[in-house]
Copies of this chain bind each other. A is one copy, B any other.
Amino acid sequence: MLRYWTAGESHGKTLLAMIDGFPAGLAIDEEPINRELARRQGGYGRGGRQRIETDKVEVMTGIWKGLTLGSPVALQVINRDYKLERLEDLPRPRPGHGDLTGAIKFLGPIRAILERASARETAVRVAAGALAKQLLAEFGIQVYGFVDELGGVAIDRPDNVDDVDTMIAKRDESIIYSLNPAQDPQFKELIDKTGKSGDTLGGIVEVRVVGAPFGLGTHAQWDRKLDGKLAQAVMAVQAIKGVEIGMGFEAARKPGSQVHDPIHYDPMEQESTNLGYTRPTNNAGGLEAGMTNGQTIVVRAAKKPISTLRKPLESVNLETKETDAASYERSDVCAVSAASVIVESVVAFEIAAALVDKFGGDSLEEMKARYQLFMDMARKR
């Protein structure tokens, strides 16, 4: 069982992720974790805070001589902008945030809620996901996310979406983390214009998991289906209001004959994760009946625009009940690029958890041997 929690406030001392059940014997590299942290802080449209923080991960526990021990791995990202004790409460809840609802639920200050509900927390979820990706890489599984739509403008997809390295290279060229850097100027202009008007933008991100074997997740009980677990992990990311798998909502609009992916058999592909069972389409997004089917897993998420507007929305003073502009806390214009990193990270973690569930989690050595064993048995099924 691979599982994790986080702790930490937006302006608190530190952010922590505690990851329990991580296999022993994996060489952890901090550099790729820091790269993902930097990616989370980037993307065109970010504000001042991202320039203050340059997030670095610290692996606090669970390793010895560079290898995981099988102990819990605690990751820390220290807040350079630590000032929580100097901050005061907010008088007026900001629409779209947890300010109002949290203040009432906990019968306390808005500050108590916003510090924890803030998307700043996702820094350690990204760290946890980046760690998970190092485990996945050992099994040839790659996970990458990108921005697919921003501010209502769809982005043209390149033809080939199966060559992961090419796709990642393209994305890394783009200032908004799309697969089509050629469109960047258009988005730069949109973001600039929106920022000047004091408004914010949202968008749609997509995450692809390439190389996952058959049989992660299960159909047998509702709370163990992998599609459900992915949906939970993604929807629980700050500002996400929608999740799709594969064709998603479009699948609801087409006849069955255009949705379901025919099954073919190609002995040439027997050694790949599809075991030879090729599919001319992948509308299912790699998941049927809550289990992976050897195809690429495709998850999409809708991120609403940032809730804190420089031109604030109407709110009320919780003491006086008088209408006034919402309180303002420093914020960005657009964080859809960041969301693509965060959603990528939580998806990666769930896939790693499902992998540990299927192949066991004591040691990398045993996991790998079991992976081979299963592939052999599966090919003989």
Query: Is A27 positioned at the interface, with any CB of B under 8 Å from its CB?
Result: no
Say yes or no for A142: interface residue by CB 8 A criterion.
Answer: no
Please pick, from B18, B111, B116, B303, the residue contacting A219 in the complex, using a CB distance under 8 A. B116
| B16, A105: Cβ atoms closer than 8 Å | no
State the majority secondary structure of interface residues on A.
mixed
B235 touches A104 (CB 8 A): no
For A108, list chain B residues within 8 Å (CB): 24-25, 69-70, 363
Q: Which residues of B contact A259 (CB under 8 A)?
A: 96, 202, 304-305
Contact across chains for A106 and B362 when beta carbons are under 8 A apart: yes
Instruction: Say whether, besides A255-B151, A256-B307, A289-B98, A16 and B314 are in contact (CB < 8 Å).
Output: no
With most chain B CB atoms within 10 A of its CB, the pick from A225, A259, A309, A381 is A259
Choose the segment among A29-37, A43-51, A167-175, A243-251 that binds chain B (4+ C-beta atoms closer than 8 Å): A243-251
Known: A234-B231, A242-B248. A14 touches B275 (CB 8 A): no
Query: What bracket does the count of chain A residues touching chain B fall in?
Result: 35 or more
Bound-state CA distance A214–B102 (Å) is 8
B360→A358 contact, CB < 8 A: yes
Residue pair B74, A194 in contact (C-beta under 8 Å): no
Q: Across the interface, do B117 and A289 meet the contact criterion of CB distance under 8 Å? A: yes
Nearest-Cβ distance from residue A308 to partner chain B, whole angstroms: 8
9 closest A-B pairs by beta carbon, nearest first, are A98-B289, A105-B215, A228-B236, A231-B235, A96-B260, A256-B305, A200-B256, A232-B232, A152-B253
Q: Is the CB of B291 within 8 A of A9?
A: no
A8 with B61, Cβ < 8 A, contacts A307-B256, A366-B107, A370-B373 known: yes
Q: Kindly state the separation between the CA atoms of A309 and B221 in the bound complex, as whole angstroms.
A: 25
- Within 8 Å CB of A200, what residues of B? 255-257
Interface 0/1 of A267-291, CB less than 8 Å to B: 1000000011101000011001111
> Closest Cβ of chain B: how far from A250's Cβ, in Å?
8
